[in-house]
Amino acid sequence: MFVSAVFVAGGIWLIVSGGSSGWSIAATGFFGLCLLVAILEPWLPKPHVSGKYENQNEARRTTSLAEVVERLRVRADTPLILCSCTSPDLKTVWVWALEENATNRLKTRWSGVLRPSEFDELAAVLRQQRSVWLAGVDTRQPPPFKWFRMVYTLPPAPCRIYTRRGLVAGVEPAAATRYLPRLKQIAVQSSSVVEGWISHDWIHAGISLVGDAGAREELVRLKNAGPFNQFLLMYDGIDLMMDTMWLDRVVPRVAEVLGLEWRVVDYSKTPSKVERQSGDR
């Protein structure tokens, strides 16, 4: 990258001084180095990451479930949102215990790494003390990292969808409410379809209610990595798939609550393509 920066700096200097070859030198040098790194990448040394998760698991063992329960059972008047996702080692789960505050934002009460059996035990014990909503979470970082892209509650809890900005949408039978960016009650017709979608420019994904006449009401919109990574050739179809996997879980959940059919449409393809829909196996 240092050599690439030298090429770019030299190219800019030539452009400023009137050299017509400046752009060619900057572009050729920068993207040439990027191509070289891409070719050599399989042979470049990579950090050993398995110890990272082993250390997290070791840290987890120093915290007993009794201590966690004692910390989380204090506010029995507020539903506890207990999020989990499988960790990369496939043997443990990343866990976040969250509460919704007065401004509809989620506050982390505790986070850690547990075995699946320990997570089930934690949920069962807490249910004896207070209301507990199980939820899925879309995140790329392990606890105690607090940033997440989305949290969505699971049955039998009410269907609620959160992002880092707070509560985005709530869904009840025959009723849907969008909270952000502006509060709006969305009329639900029996002929509507719940559509998850990927935008044509890859930048956004979301969920809309589509009427039989084509009228659309947007319920959720989430931003993907955006054009900057695309410009640097660091964002491809695999990244897009990872960023939009939440559609496969949340779209059917919303449709089930509303009693409607659903589909996931990729508008980044020409022509647009229905990737998945009700009835698929």
pLDDT exceeds 80 at position 14: no
What does pLDDT average to over the chain?
A: 81
Q: Give me the pLDDT at residue 192, please.
A: 87
Q: Give me the pLDDT at residue 279, please.
A: 85
* Tokens 């900005």, residue located: 165
Tokens encoding 140: 């790329």
What is the band of 116 on the pLDDT scale with cuts at 50, 70, 90? very high
- The model carries a pTM of 0.74
Tokens encoding 268: 């980044």
What is the band of 181 on the pLDDT scale with cuts at 50, 70, 90? confident
pLDDT exceeds 50 at position 117: yes
What is the band of 141 on the pLDDT scale with cuts at 50, 70, 90? confident
Bigger pLDDT: 77 or 124?
Answer: 124
Helix (H) and strand (E) counts in the chain: 8, 14
Q: What is the dihedral of CA 174, 180, 181, 184, to 10 degrees?
A: 30
CATH 3.40.50 fits 51-148, yes or no: no
DSSP 42: G
Give whole-number Cα distances, 152 to 1, 53, 99, 148, 164, in Å. 40, 25, 13, 11, 12
Round to the nearest angstrom and report the end-to-end CA distance of the chain.
Answer: 46
Domain extent listing, the chain: 2-43, 51-148, 156-281
Please report the sign of the dihedral spanned by the C-alpha atoms of residue 240, residue 242, residue 245, residue 247: negative
pLDDT exceeds 60 at position 187: yes
Burial (CB < 10 A; 0-12, 13-18, 19+), residue 34, is: middle
Q: Averaged over 177-192, what is the pLDDT?
A: 89
**Number of other CB atoms surrounding residue 174 within 10 Å:** 13
Tokens encoding 86: 């499988």
